[in-house]
Amino acid sequence: MAQINDHYLKLEAGYLFPEIGRRVRAFQEAHPDAAVIRLGIGDVTLPLVPAIVSALHEAVDDMATADGFKGYGPDRGYPFLVDAILEHDFRARGVELAADEVFVSDGSKQDSGNIQEIFALASRVLVTDPVYPVYVDTNVMAGRTGRADGAGRYEGIHYLAATEANGFVPDPPEGGGVDLVYLCSPNNPTGSVMTREQLGRWVAWAREHDAVILFDAAYDAFISDPELPRSIYEISGAEECAIEMRSFSKRAGFTGMRCAYTIVPKAATGTSASGERVSLHQLWSRRQATKFNEVPYIVQRAAAAIYSPEGRKQTAEQIAHYMENARILREGLSAAGFTVFAGLHAPYIWLRTPEGLSSWQFFDALLEKTHVVGTPGSGFGPSGEGYFRISAFNSRENAEEAVSRIQGAFGAES
Ligand SMILES: *Cc1c(COP(=O)(O)O)cnc(C)c1O
């Protein structure tokens, strides 16, 4: 008898996006002529920039020659990519890391889901709420929780509400009682971003209470204010208590290419059952060596091209395109009477649903009246109820068309 992992049965019905997909398909079947605009799932829409495409072509040609052919790559990634990461993402902002503290991977979804493996099952986990569902679900699968209650809160997970009152950036809790904290800034779904002071309070708290911060900076490239921290290691002391995850997915259109990286500093430690301090770097190295065989050479070449002068310029233009969409959506929905948040340092608009409509009711109303698809805030956690996420990843035309339809349908009543 093959007994299953019963913890999977605790997972709330389906992942959010399959349910959205199901409702949109049902709507399209009923209305085959409706021109649906998808501002739901956070996926990029622009093609790869020319600098990346030429690097890809060259790398494919390398693979066709006896000299250039590459088999399994080096652990943690090729030096040409790791060096570019260290130089441009860290040294340029005053952060010194060692090359072997960078782990190139095939995605931050994977890394943010897998990282919990190196911590004890008894670890007490804190998430901000609403939250990227991967952090919670992977801890449920691992068996760190009980069942979810009616509001979708799993027993055993600590939820810290991100609300209008705290600007969607909650401060650390009073006291300790937590071992692992997931933070995401700029935030998916709320689009909020942490200031140096706010992030500094979390680092100080983690150090005081011997907790580890799992910092997801998948959207760091969307930060437009140079004063805002892009890396948690810009806060001194973070190298002892934080792991950071970054992705090329949103930054350079790599959602289908698959390349990201995770920083595990050698100074970061946890405690073993016998009370010794153990380097998290040692554990993650061992985990990756056993379970991961590196990112394809051609993809790492493409990722390195993001850091070339043309690559930097061209990807910055892509980000500017999405952020202009964010401005159009933010201002347009605001003009339609919605209470709108964020969209300044993230490709997401977070809005309050109209009086009397839950997140899913607004999802259905928006689809029905405007044929625009967004994401219900409640799908990201109980504190997301009453809110809604609109993604700026689309063409200019669609962003403008969505605004005009929404103004037409909701402008008068909301
Ligand atoms: C999109 C996203 C990621 C990126 O995942 P990849 O696997 O690198 O594509 C990670 N974290 C958050 C919060 C995201 O929204």
- State the residue range of the domain holding 169: 52-307
**Probe residue for ligand 1, chosen from 131, 135, 216 as the CB with the greatest number of ligand atoms within 8 Å:** 216
195 and 127 within one domain: yes
Strand 260-263 versus strand 242-247 pairing type: antiparallel
Establish if 1 belongs to a structural domain: no
151 and 241 within one domain: yes
One digit per residue, the tens of pLDDT, for the chain of length 414 reads 999 999 999 997 666 788 899 999 999 999 999 999 999 878 999 999 999 999 999 999 999 999 999 999 999 999 999 999 999 999 999 999 999 999 999 999 999 999 999 999 999 999 999 999 999 999 999 999 999 988 889 999 999 999 999 999 999 999 889 999 999 999 999 999 999 999 999 999 999 999 999 999 999 999 999 999 999 999 999 999 999 999 999 999 999 999 999 999 999 999 999 999 999 999 999 999 999 999 999 999 999 999 999 999 999 999 999 999 999 999 999 999 999 998 799 999 999 999 999 999 999 999 999 999 999 999 999 999 999 999 999 999 999 999 999 999 987 554
Give me the CATH number covering residue 331: 3.90.1150.10
**Do residues 365 and 321 make contact, with C-beta atoms less than 8 angstroms apart?**
no
Establish if 161 belongs to a structural domain: yes
> H/E element holding 216?
strand 212-216
Return phi, psi of residue 173, to 5°: -70, 160
Q: Which of 272, 287, 307 is the last residue of a domain?
A: 307
Q: Which of 307, 325, 353 is the last residue of a domain?
A: 307
Please tell me the predicted confidence (pLDDT) of residue 15.
67
191 and 76 within one domain: yes
Strand 387-391 versus strand 348-352 pairing type: antiparallel
296 and 201 within one domain: yes
Please tell me the predicted confidence (pLDDT) of residue 412.
58
- State the CB neighbour count (10 A cutoff) for residue 1: 3
Of all atoms in ligand 1, which is nearest to the CA of residue 216? 11
Rounded CA-CA distance 380/13 in Å is 13
- Ligand 1 atom 15, closest CA: 188
392 and 334 within one domain: yes
74 and 38 within one domain: no
- State the CB neighbour count (10 A cutoff) for residue 240: 15
Of all atoms in ligand 1, which is nearest to the CA of residue 255? 9
Ligand 1 centroid from CA 232, angstroms: 17
75 and 218 within one domain: yes
Task: Indicate whether this model's pTM tops 0.95.
Answer: yes
Report whether residue 105 contacts ligand 1, using a CB cutoff of 6 Å. Answer: no
328 and 270 within one domain: no
Rounded CA-CA distance 65/78 in Å is 19
246 and 122 within one domain: yes
Give me the CATH number covering residue 173: 3.40.640.10
294 and 204 within one domain: yes
Please tell me the predicted confidence (pLDDT) of residue 42.
84
135 and 280 within one domain: yes
317 and 210 within one domain: no
